[in-house]
Structure 1
Amino acid sequence: MRSGSRLDARSVRHYGWILAGLNLLSLAFLLATSRGGVDRFGHILGTDFLSFWAAGKMLIAGAAPYDAAAHVAVQSAVFDAPGGYPAFFYPPLFLIFCLPLGLAPYFVSIAAWLAITGAAYVAALRVWLKELDFRLSLPLWLAAFSPVFLTITHGQTSFLSAALLGAGLFLVPRKPVIAGLMLGLATFKPQFGLLIPVALLLTGSWRTIAAAVFSAAMLALVNTVLFGPEVWADWHALTSKAQDATASGEIGFAKMITVFAGARLIGLSDGVAFALQAIASITVIAAIAWASWRRGWSDALAALVLAGAALATPFALDYDLLLLGFPLLWIAATGFRDFERWGCALAFVAPIIARPLAMQVGVPIMPFVLALILAFLLKCVPPRAA
């Protein structure tokens, strides 16, 4: 039991094919039962992508992307979402990514978006596999890992954010400037960057820090020049609505994977849920600080930061678990220690059942699974320098 020897390579491949089959059949069923680009549940294929595409159309037309009424009108021209519309809460840093999306029709645009960002995610995984000298059937991994399926069906940004964060953190000791440039570009999803400054500062990764600051500043400057300084005020005015949507459960606590969402799901109040999230965030930040101080950057630290990212923020959804792929690969490549084989198997499978379990039974499992992987990685941190 301790070694998990029953989960040998042959068994893992068999289970992988089962998971891949389930994901691919689900995707095929979703597409086959859709009519005119609308699935059997009444949602447009890609759901969340509609807001990114609409923002791109508005930017091309010179309209204000954070004008909710105008945003609704643009979306409704393609699909009139029942009971609301996919809101656009991303910061202005993301606008430059949205701009080209509006150049093509919706379904052409989403196909291109998923192909390009998906290729970026695959490239980031290959960087880890090559440097770790670990052999893996990447197509099987991708087909079996359910956050890939969730990202595709939601038309989300997770391929891009995971690629930038995954490759960026891994390249810190190898190509520090390139790493920093990638981390700076990833600031369009700032909630996943809480741990990165702690790790970079305490390991003295100054070239990466400088490159990241430069990259983020240039991203902000380009967006400001292209779309006007008023977009920052417009976005800031929307942030309270975004916070309200998170706290009220409008987004859906069952879809979220954070401590805050888990606490709200089981019926705790906002205040208690935020307090528990604060405790979790501080604990994870302290763990990253301990793992960074006087140790220098390591692959274990990169994996640790990626595993802790979703625990440190109150806002993360199940498709964001693409980030977890890198820590799981690192653990497998460096050799499983006590109970790690079972724990990693649980973490790999959990995203499939987390949302249904939360929706039907009201039980949040992902914070506990993420904490387990974080604990595994903390044991692997290299000794502190003398």
Structure 2
Amino acid sequence: MPEQNDLDARASEHWLVERRVRVYPRLFLAMFILAAPLYALTFEGGLDGRGRPPGTDFIAFWSAGRFALDGHAADAWDLDLIGAFQLSMFPGLSGPTQWAYPPTTLPLVIPFGALPHLTAYVTWVVVGLGLFLGVLSTLLRNRQYSWPIALAFPGLWLGIPSGQIQFFVAALLGAALILLPRRPVLAGILIGLLVIKPQLGVLLPVALLAGREWRAFAAAASTSVVAFIVSTGAFGMTALESWWSSLGVLGEAIDDGTAPIYKFVTPYMGLRLVGLQEVPALVLHTVVALPVALVVWRLWRRPADPMVRNSATVIGTFLVTPYAADYDLAVLAFPIAWMAIMGQRHGWLRGDRNLLVATWLLPAITGPIALITHVTMTPFLMALLLRQLWVRGSRKADAEHVDQIAAGGT
């Protein structure tokens, strides 16, 4: 347990008192609920005031599903072809949305491609959000005020209009980490299914190897390989080659300024936002990523609280992967919940609650701040959170070592 000088000794004087914890999330939730019909009023002819359909990014998922159903999966990565299809569906569309996910994601989107666009979008959000909240609910049971805080989380509301894949990814990642101590094989299978968005699983092999989770690692590796073989067999090597080639289009969009870089939240993209070229930005990103991976490795090697290790793995992901956007921050609901539980059980470290409030608000504010200032604040906040987890994990390991010595261990 943390020593007293690491704890917030003025707990009763902290500004985040019970009344505010109870009221503030409900105010945010009411604001989001009231904003939804106002946004709906901007639609005309199936497009909003900016010329975008419901689920601004979902149109790419739906289009890719349609292409795969028609036997032309490889064409989904051709911006001209998919753009022409999207314009045929929505003649007033302001511009096409590129499909940039690997072929292993196509099995997920194909069923939605079989539905009319609006029905597919609503079903996509309902299913994804249901899975996300279902997994999150395992951490919220019997916890006072937890559901209003979860339902008002800006990461949830940011993801609904975008129609992105983040709810499915967050559900897989959260469920895998929760199940790992009890059901390592099932956890490994869920980790393997993260091939639908592999860059958000980049730290999981580090964690599994450091934690000696051999069964989970084997299950994850096997699932990933099977998913790759099945998708390649179903859609052909041409689809794999088309996806790989399409990655250059994103790089070109970053270089020429047409990509919305301000929406990305990693050190690499933050460096690109301030004007650094690709190579120096990648070098500096690596300088950040390697120590973060080492911290996660060390925490998983120690007898740290699983909630410390899980939280560090999720938070560290945004410092290690080069590509993650603001909608991907929905997965932060899990480390927010774990860190809140640890604070309530073992006492708050100094600064914990302020950082958790900032993290809770982060999905709503990081994009606008980056757009105005050209500064991506997410890496700085993730680094501070990781520091808190390192302190808490170190204290936990030291305490258990003292208990071992007292019991005659080594």
TM-score normalised by the chain length of structure 2:
0.88
User: Which consecutive unaligned segments of at least 5 residues does structure 2 have?
Assistant: 1-7, 402-409
Aligned equivalents of 1:198, 1:296: Cα separation in 2: 16
Answer yes or no: is 1:201 the counterpart of 2:213. no
Find the counterpart in structure 2 of residue 12 from structure 1. Answer: 21
Answer yes or no: is 1:179 the counterpart of 2:187. yes
Percent identity over paired residues:
32
Deviations 1:17-58 (A, max 9, x none): 222223223322211221132111222121110011001111
Give RMSD over aligned pairs: 2.1
Deviations 1:328-349 (A, max 9, x none): 1111111132110111111111
Find the counterpart in structure 2 of residue 298 from structure 1. Answer: 306
Answer yes or no: is 1:251 the counterpart of 2:259. yes
- Matched letter for residue 366 of structure 1: T
Find the counterpart in structure 2 of residue 159 from structure 1. Answer: 167
Answer yes or no: is 1:120 the counterpart of 2:131. yes
Answer yes or no: is 1:265 the counterpart of 2:273. yes
8 A contact 2:158–2:364 mirrored in 1: no
8 A contact 1:246–1:315 mirrored in 2: no
Residue 317 of structure 1 is aligned with which of 325, 338, 344?
325
Deviations 1:134-178 (A, max 9, x none): 44442x234321111111111000000000011111211111111
Which is further off, 290-299 or 369-378? Answer: 290-299
- Matched letter for residue 307 of structure 1: I
Find the counterpart in structure 2 of residue 286 from structure 1. Answer: 294
CA-CA distance at 1:5 after TM superposition:
2.2
- Matched letter for residue 301 of structure 2: W
Aligned equivalents of 2:304, 2:226: Cα separation in 1: 28
8 A contact 2:307–2:339 mirrored in 1: no
CA-CA distance at 1:115 after TM superposition:
0.4
- Matched letter for residue 329 of structure 1: A
Counterparts of 1:120-159 in structure 2 under 5 Å?
120-130=131-141, 134-138=143-147, 140-159=148-167
Answer yes or no: is 1:79 the counterpart of 2:90. yes
Answer yes or no: is 1:98 the counterpart of 2:109. yes
Deviations 1:83-118 (A, max 9, x none): 631101100110101111111100000100110011
8 A contact 1:185–1:216 mirrored in 2: yes
8 A contact 1:253–1:265 mirrored in 2: yes
- Matched letter for residue 24 of structure 2: Y
- Alpha-carbon spacing, 1:288–1:19, altered in 2? closer, same or farther (3 Å): same
- Alpha-carbon spacing, 1:82–1:274, altered in 2? closer, same or farther (3 Å): farther
Deviations 1:156-207 (A, max 9, x none): 0000000001111121111111111111111211111221111100111011
TM-score normalised by the chain length of structure 1:
0.93
Find the counterpart in structure 2 of residue 353 from structure 1. Answer: 365
Aligned equivalents of 1:179, 1:134: Cα separation in 2: 25
Which is further off, 372-381 or 2-11? Answer: 2-11
Which is further off, 183-192 or 105-114? Answer: 183-192
Find the counterpart in structure 2 of residue 337 from structure 1. Answer: 349
User: Which consecutive unaligned segments of at least 5 residues does structure 1 have?
Assistant: none
Answer yes or no: is 1:364 the counterpart of 2:354. no
